[in-house]
Chains A and B, each alone.
Chain A
Amino acid sequence: MKLTISQEKLSQALNLVSKAVSSRTLNLVLAHIRFQVTKKSLTLTGSDGDFTIEHTVDTEGEREGALLVPARLFVDLITRLPKKDVTLERQDGMLKIVSGYSDYSINILPDENFPSLPLFEEGKLAQLPAGLLRSALGRTTFSALKDPSGTTSHYTHGVLLNFHEDNLDIVATDGHRLALERMDNPAPEIKDRSLLVPTTITEELRRALPSEEDKTVEIYFLSNQVFFKFDNSVFGGSLFDIKYPDYLKVVPKETKSVANVNRSALREALQRVLIVFKVKEQNPVVRVETSGDSLVISSESQDVGKGVEEMPFTQGSPFADIRIAINPAYLADVLAVVDADTVDLHWTSEVNPLKLELPEKPGYTYIVMPIRMD
């Protein structure tokens, strides 16, 4: 195997596929990245045994071949090389890396036992603008939890892609707040299919998806595995095979009161209010209420003291005075990721969830469960 490629191209590709390589693995093979060189391309694959990223770079290979390079070492080395051409060559069972004055030979493994992606092309489900999926994931994924061990499947550890009737719903929740992005079903013929994609995958996918208008991402579904194909990349992995709770049931149907608030003013106020809580205390609580033409956010922590934030808001319709206690972090989280000048807070009662909507973007709903203090 022999190939010459620009350092920038190579390290970019390596950075992408290494996202699927888990830092701790018992399987030696999985601590490696697969290199496949053909006359026309270089294909890199990283995998944790399930979650797999494959990326192809168009480049001329001098000699074809495949091998496994140790992921950590190789990525660290390549990213630190000068921005010049790098020549990789297999020599005496080692990989020789030459660039400028640098010359390395590192131990490699033969291309054996590395998980390869199945032939998923027959399971095409839908195709949609990559930017659309990227921003939808950006507004939802943060609400789900990441499973640190990667061993338990729970609905809070994934993001739901629910194709039903005319809609595709993208949903994420950690059990205390929930984000729902509803868009037109890109595959209207699929009336009832839901994919619960592990957060580990959606998180990397969101980062990697291009934001350009004209690019598309294709979604494939094959025997409980999902594949996202875009640009020259494929992201694949197993779905959680568990039931997702009925998320539509928690979205309050009726609203007693709507308040329209400036997003950045609210966000900054919440960030300040959060400071009143000891940084490390979990689950802080604030009261959110309206009084006259101000929205008042007050917090109290016995450890530190108290703080009150007031800001103007616009009454929507219907309107009644709002009063609710919530975890301010949940509200601050969503305000950080949505791109909107103002947000609508929908309130029903102190014991019903608080709902946030974007006046400029109808399909989006965010819900925070209340906290009761008595």
Chain B
Amino acid sequence: MDEIRPLPAEEVEKIAAGEVVERPVSVVKEFVENALDAGARHVAVEVGDGGRRSIAVTDDGSGIPFGELALAVRNFHTSKIRACDDIYHQTTLGFRGEALAAISAVSKLTLTSRRADDELGGVVSVDGGRVGKARRQSLNPGTVVEVRELFFNTPVRRKFLRSRATELHHITNCVRNYILAFPEVAFSLVSDGKPLLTSGGRGLTPDVLYSVFGADVGPHLSSFSREYPPLGVSGLIAPPSLYRETRKLQFFFVNQRPVKNRVMYRAVDDALQEHVSAGRFPPLVLYLEVPPEEVDVNIHPTKSEVSFLHQQQVYSSIVVTLKDAVRGAAGEQIREIKQELQADLPEPTESVTAPLSPPTVAHPQGVRSIPVFEMGSPLVPDGPSVMQTEATRSRLSVVDAGAVVSLAREMGIPSFVHPDGRYFACQLAATYILLVKDDQLILIDQHAAHERVLFSGMWARLGPDGGEVVRQKLMFPLSIALAPDEIAVWREHLRVLEQLGFAVRFGEGEALVDEVPKLLLAGSDEERIAGVLEELVSSGRSAKLEDERKELVAGLACKGAIKAGDVLKPAEIRLLLDELLSLDDAASCPHGRPTMIRMGVKELAKLFRRS
């Protein structure tokens, strides 16, 4: 084994850099934050090859004095705090004094800067952590930081970089965040010479919202704002009907810093829970103002995770604000729907009023006097279970099946005795089947049971890999609005989508869907198709599609199944039971409702309080 020895300084820096710099977007984030800390009014981001080749951020902020250029790229050198406790009072985005150092350890970095008061600026280059000599250079007031060949000296990390499109997607999202966080600053993002995002720095104007949220969401955002001193909650929200399947259009800020925080997520989800189902996320911008000393941003070097001193306060102020906001945004619509639903309630549903078969009505006691209870009562046996199962069988088989059934028929109860004496069954209220089998009393919901039977058969044929892909051509292509960076990500998934039965093209700011898998088509609900596609692309998995298919097949099974209120013939009862009992997953219908309730000897004894 090798001896323990100190790592060379540059290796330490490379390892530490890993914490700050995960991928090109991390560089963009640090540079943009530095520019904003320097009070810039304009911040221009330019990337080459998704940031894999080059990243440059130009600002018109305060600039760095020539004498401090070389210090700025040193670890733990910052102009922003003097002592650790200062963190809890400062309002700048950066304070650790490590970003430039970390980035320059794993790239080729050039820092050029000039203060407005100075005649000349200066430039310093760092090559994989080796700081060059600062030289004078003329420049407009402000700072340009440029990085080339990120991870050139850490080949493993370089290998982990994703495609140009994916990295660019992250960068675009990052810039979106800062556009929303600092609406008074003008941003631009240019990728390989092509402008992707711009904001005028004149606040959250319609064109800014359009460029961040796209045409379908941008115009529908409404703003909200509340004060709970010392907290402030404000932002923008879309009507819940415009939900997405992921959080990608939800933006969270604490004191103008983009953050990820569970308390905030939960508050939002809880506030909206009345309006959207779990797993759906309406587009949202949430700005939280908190006294700097009540929030800890120094959890991780990237500072995107935060924790609050008064979590509960934060939680409830967001919930209250959003509940009000949603009532404003979509409240009217939702109230109407709710009222409609309530209006529906008094109308009795079919299954409830389903008439009992007439003779049963004529003999109100009929159900209770089903002859099965007089058949030598196999219900509360006390022998060992195997034996007693055998016993039950033989006993049932010797019963005069014809007599039982004809008696039941006289009473208007469809019933059936299995010829081998395996069970006795009858139908109750044209809805349930009562089954006596071995030492159990089983109640079956005929609709749920038939649904399960049909589903199992269909799923086996139409399931995940059963069956060919049948594609339905759409008459008018379905358009899904996408940002250019999203289009690039979609392109990467084209083949998977194709295999699943989709045909997708791309137009100006949109994906056009020409064909969809036939199975997905039921009702051709465009919103649903779009949702599935979005989920597919963002997760890269097809689990969602499989869920969709399952749900669809379940829907078909439900439509095909016998309903509550259908009177069954004895042979139908038998068929249903035989098929149901042959399935492994017979206990619940594909929607998750139980198909049967079993009562064994123990349960019955309990009901009758036999100890």
**Which residues from chain A sit less than 8 Å from chain B, CB to CB?**
24, 26, 173-178, 245, 250, 278, 280-283, 285, 302-303, 327, 351, 353, 367, 369-374
**Would you call B476 and A175 a contact (CB within 8 A)?**
yes
Smallest CB-CB A-B distances: 10 pairs: A372-B471, A245-B476, A280-B560, A369-B473, A280-B559, A373-B470, A302-B461, A369-B475, A175-B475, A371-B472
Given known A283-B518, A285-B518, contact A250–B476 (CB-CB < 8 A): yes
Given known A281-B556, A367-B475, contact A175–B524 (CB-CB < 8 A): yes
A196 to chain B, nearest CB (A): 14
**Would you call A24 and B344 a contact (CB within 8 A)?**
yes
Q: Is B515 an interface residue (CB 8 A)?
A: yes
A178 vs B467: C-alpha distance when bound (angstroms) = 29
Residues of B within 8 A of A245 (CB): 475-476
Q: Is B420 an interface residue (CB 8 A)?
A: no
A372 vs B515: C-alpha distance when bound (angstroms) = 9
Q: Is B469 an interface residue (CB 8 A)?
A: yes
Q: Is B522 an interface residue (CB 8 A)?
A: yes
A245 vs B512: C-alpha distance when bound (angstroms) = 14
Q: Is B340 an interface residue (CB 8 A)?
A: yes
Residues of A within 8 A of B344 (CB): 24
Q: Is B468 an interface residue (CB 8 A)?
A: yes
**Would you call B521 and A353 a contact (CB within 8 A)?**
no
Q: Which residue in chain B gives the minimum CB-CB distance to A176?
A: B475
Given known A283-B472, A369-B472, contact A26–B524 (CB-CB < 8 A): no
What interface size band does chain B fall in? 20 to 34
A300 to chain B, nearest CB (A): 11
**17 A-B pairs in the complex with CB atoms less than 8 angstroms apart:** A24-B340, A24-B347, A174-B524, A175-B475, A176-B472, A245-B475, A278-B560, A281-B556, A282-B521, A282-B522, A283-B522, A302-B467, A303-B458, A367-B475, A371-B471, A371-B473, A372-B473
Q: Which residue in chain B gives the minimum CB-CB distance to A23?
A: B347
A175 vs B559: C-alpha distance when bound (angstroms) = 23
Given known A280-B560, A285-B470, contact A371–B475 (CB-CB < 8 A): no
Residues of A within 8 A of B343 (CB): 24, 26
Q: Which residue in chain A gives the minimum CB-CB distance to B340?
A: A26
A145 to chain B, nearest CB (A): 9
A219 to chain B, nearest CB (A): 26
Residues of B within 8 A of A280 (CB): 556, 559-560
Residues of B within 8 A of A372 (CB): 470-473, 515
B452-482 to A contact mask, C-beta < 8 Å, 1/0: 0000011001000001111111111000000
Known: A173-B476, A303-B458. 18 other contacts (CB 8 A): A24-B343, A24-B344, A24-B347, A26-B343, A174-B524, A176-B475, A281-B560, A282-B556, A283-B518, A285-B518, A302-B467, A303-B457, A351-B473, A372-B470, A372-B472, A373-B468, A373-B469, A373-B470
B302 to chain A, nearest CB (A): 43
A287 vs B462: C-alpha distance when bound (angstroms) = 20
Q: Which residue in chain A gives the minimum CB-CB distance to B523?
A: A282
B72 to chain A, nearest CB (A): 55
A241 to chain B, nearest CB (A): 16
A175 to chain B, nearest CB (A): 5
Q: Is B339 an interface residue (CB 8 A)?
A: yes
Q: Which residue in chain B gives the minimum CB-CB distance to A250?
A: B475
**Which residues from chain B sit less than 8 Å from chain A, CB to CB?**
339-340, 343-344, 347, 457-458, 461, 467-476, 515, 518, 521-522, 524, 556, 559-560
A175, A278, A281, A282: which contacts B474 (Cβ < 8 A)?
A175
Residues of B within 8 A of A369 (CB): 472-475
B467, B468, B522, B556: which contacts A374 (Cβ < 8 A)?
B468
A369 vs B474: C-alpha distance when bound (angstroms) = 7
**Would you call A374 and B469 a contact (CB within 8 A)?**
yes
Given known A282-B556, A372-B515, contact A177–B521 (CB-CB < 8 A): no
Q: Which residue in chain B gives the minimum CB-CB distance to A149?
A: B340
A254 vs B35: C-alpha distance when bound (angstroms) = 60
A278 vs B462: C-alpha distance when bound (angstroms) = 14
Residues of B within 8 A of A367 (CB): 475
A303 vs B467: C-alpha distance when bound (angstroms) = 12
B332 to chain A, nearest CB (A): 12
Residues of B within 8 A of A302 (CB): 461, 467
A173, A281, A285, A370: which contacts B473 (Cβ < 8 A)?
A370
Residues of B within 8 A of A353 (CB): 473, 475
Residues of A within 8 A of B473 (CB): 351, 353, 369-372
A302 vs B339: C-alpha distance when bound (angstroms) = 44
Residue of A278, A282, A327, A373 with highest tally of chain B CB at under 10 A: A282
A87 vs B471: C-alpha distance when bound (angstroms) = 62
B556 to chain A, nearest CB (A): 7
Residues of A within 8 A of B560 (CB): 278, 280-281
A296 vs B514: C-alpha distance when bound (angstroms) = 28
Q: Which residue in chain A gives the minimum CB-CB distance to B344?
A: A24
A15 vs B346: C-alpha distance when bound (angstroms) = 26
Q: Which residue in chain B gives the minimum CB-CB distance to A368?
A: B475
Residues of A within 8 A of B340 (CB): 24, 26
Residues of B within 8 A of A373 (CB): 468-471
A54 to chain B, nearest CB (A): 26
Q: Which residue in chain A gives the minimum CB-CB distance to B524?
A: A175
B558 to chain A, nearest CB (A): 10
A143 to chain B, nearest CB (A): 10
A373 vs B347: C-alpha distance when bound (angstroms) = 45
Residues of A within 8 A of B472 (CB): 176, 283, 327, 369, 371-372
B474, B476, B521: which contacts A283 (Cβ < 8 A)?
B521
A174 vs B475: C-alpha distance when bound (angstroms) = 9
B222 to chain A, nearest CB (A): 21
Residues of A within 8 A of B559 (CB): 280
A371 vs B521: C-alpha distance when bound (angstroms) = 12
A177 vs B473: C-alpha distance when bound (angstroms) = 10
Residues of B within 8 A of A24 (CB): 340, 343-344, 347
Given known A176-B475, A177-B475, contact A371–B556 (CB-CB < 8 A): no
Q: Which residue in chain A gives the minimum CB-CB distance to B460?
A: A302
A327 vs B522: C-alpha distance when bound (angstroms) = 13
Residues of B within 8 A of A176 (CB): 472, 474-475, 524
**Would you call B476 and A371 a contact (CB within 8 A)?**
no
A103 to chain B, nearest CB (A): 31
Residues of A within 8 A of B518 (CB): 283, 285, 371
B479 to chain A, nearest CB (A): 10
**Would you call A173 and B515 a contact (CB within 8 A)?**
no
**Would you call B470 and A371 a contact (CB within 8 A)?**
yes
Residue of B343, B347, B461, B475 with highest tally of chain A CB at under 10 A: B475
Q: Which residue in chain A gives the minimum CB-CB distance to B462?
A: A302
A281 vs B559: C-alpha distance when bound (angstroms) = 9
A373 vs B475: C-alpha distance when bound (angstroms) = 17
A27 to chain B, nearest CB (A): 10
A174 vs B472: C-alpha distance when bound (angstroms) = 13
Residues of A within 8 A of B467 (CB): 302
Residues of A within 8 A of B556 (CB): 280-282
Residues of B within 8 A of A173 (CB): 475-476
Q: Which residue in chain B gives the minimum CB-CB distance to A372?
A: B471
Residue of B461, B468, B471 with highest tally of chain A CB at under 10 A: B471
Q: Which residue in chain A gives the minimum CB-CB distance to B552?
A: A282
A281 vs B339: C-alpha distance when bound (angstroms) = 34
Q: Which residue in chain B gives the minimum CB-CB distance to A279?
A: B560
Q: Which residue in chain A gives the minimum CB-CB distance to B468?
A: A373
Residues of A within 8 A of B475 (CB): 173, 175-178, 245, 250, 353, 367, 369
